Amino acid sequence: MLANAILAYFIAQDQVGQIEPYWSHAGIVGEVNAFQLGESDIDAAFWTLSDDGWITLSIRGTLLDTNSFWELIATIEDWYEDDETFLEPLYPDPQSGRVHRGFRRAAFTLWPYLLLGGYFGGRFQAGLASIDYAKVKGIRVTGHSKGAALSQLLAVIIATELTGVNGSRPAAIEVYSYACPLLGDGTFVTYFASQRAITRAVRFQRWSDIVPFVPPYDSFNIRDMNAQYCSSVLSYALRPIFDQMYAGYHLCGDLVFYDGPDPATSVIDTGAIAISHSQSVILAAIQGDHSETIAGAHSAINSYWPAVTRRNWPQPEIEELRVEFEAILG
């Protein structure tokens, strides 16, 4: 599923770039329906039919483009959305809990078009309501970074609101989140877990990636842990950033932790051991001033991809590949 999450970064002009090796690994056999919405098109996703009989919905992560003035503006707006960490109600029903304000706005910006479709890129992009779910296995939702948090949130929205052809509904919804920031409070996590249609929800996390620790979550508040246990230059640089974030978040989904500096040979941990070890690793990285290691660990292409495929694939970063793809589009 990571290949699909990476391909979501190559949504441009309402189409998806066939970037290798990811396209060959994505298993796409159906028509690709792509959507770009929000301020400066910062919210984007695509869905398609995969060769294993599932509908795959992939949501783009945060933009990092600075190659033109307008790309810089879009990147700033995207980061601003990420920074809106105030928790607000998902639905009027208090049992649905509270979620990250910026991520909620992004999800509900995308959702009407993901549901019903619309005209983008000169053609009609079909919505998820056009599917007869009696004829497919279900829906898999995936994303990296911001896209990972949105994959969790959209899974809940799909479970709650989606009805397809002839009143059909997905028999199963699976969530594959890579480098996922925190999404909601404890009540939301309980609401997420109560959705019987969501049959699998996995968070994949790499060694020394700091994004899965923000905004701070209650059982491991990285803001407080950093202030209490770390005294490095990096620790002091991070403190004002952490201080601007709202806390009160809880972990959502089951963790798979790729432990070790070499992603291709990293040890795979799960469960409570994975959670505990990931916490000790990030504190050691901060205390050791390993800023480059922390930044590199978040890379979808050069950190998560070799960890998942168990093979080193040295590739240009997403920003460079996006420049090449957009140049081809003209």
Which pTM was predicted? 0.94
Instruction: Summarize the confidence of residues 235-250 as an average pLDDT.
Output: 89
Q: Provide the pLDDT confidence category of residue 69 given band limits of 50, 70 and 90.
A: very low
Instruction: Summarize the confidence of residues 260-282 as an average pLDDT.
Output: 95
Question: Which residues, in sequence order, are CB contacts of 319 under 8 Å at separation 6+?
Answer: 64, 65, 66, 67
Q: What pLDDT, on a 0 to 100 scale, did the predictor assign at position 77?
A: 55
φ, ψ at 84 (rounded to 5°): -80, 80
Q: How many CA atoms lie within 13 A of 139 on its CB side?
A: 32
Q: Provide the pLDDT confidence category of residue 290 given band limits of 50, 70 and 90.
A: very high
The mean predicted confidence, pLDDT, of the chain is 91
Query: Which DSSP symbol is given to 304?
Result: I
Looking at the 3D structure of the chain, how many domains does it have? Answer: 1
Question: Which residues, in sequence order, are CB contacts of 127 under 8 Å at separation 6+?
Answer: 33, 113, 114, 115, 116, 117, 118
Q: Which CATH number do you get for residue 42? A: 3.40.50.1820
Q: What pLDDT, on a 0 to 100 scale, did the predictor assign at position 76?
A: 46
* Residue range(s) defining the domain that contains residue 306: 2-329
Position 309 pLDDT exceeds 80:
yes
Strands 55-59 and 87-89: unpaired
Does residue 326 contact residue 34 with C-beta atoms inside 8 Å?
A: no
